[in-house]
Amino acid sequence: MPIIVNLDVMMAKRKMSLNELSEKVGLTLSNLSILKTGKAKAVRFSTLEAICKVLNCQPGDILEFVDHPDK
């Protein structure tokens, strides 16, 4: 998939655990883990907004588009 989720990178920069982010954002650990591993099929804007507020970042810090011209 050409969309890369860099949630783990931002969490590391902010020294925040998955448990802590889960509590502050109001998402279950399993849903947050699905997002973090890039297995999510979609992300609600409200979820993305909450994550960005907690991590003090922009959506582009978490989501990245990587085009693979050979595919």
* Domains of the chain: residue spans and CATH: 3-65 (1.10.260.40)
- Tens-place pLDDT, residues 7-64: 999 999 999 999 999 999 999 999 999 999 999 999 999 999 999 999 999 999 999 9
Cα 41 to Cα 56: distance, rounded to the nearest angstrom: 24
Q: Helix (H, G, I), strand (E, B), or coil: what is residue 40? A: coil
Q: H or E element: which one contains 64?
A: strand 63-65
**pTM of the shown model:** 0.88
Tokens standing for residue 44: 């609600």
Q: H or E element: which one contains 5?
A: strand 3-5
DSSP assignment of 31-62, as one string?
A: HHHHHHTT--S---HHHHHHHHHHHT--HHHH
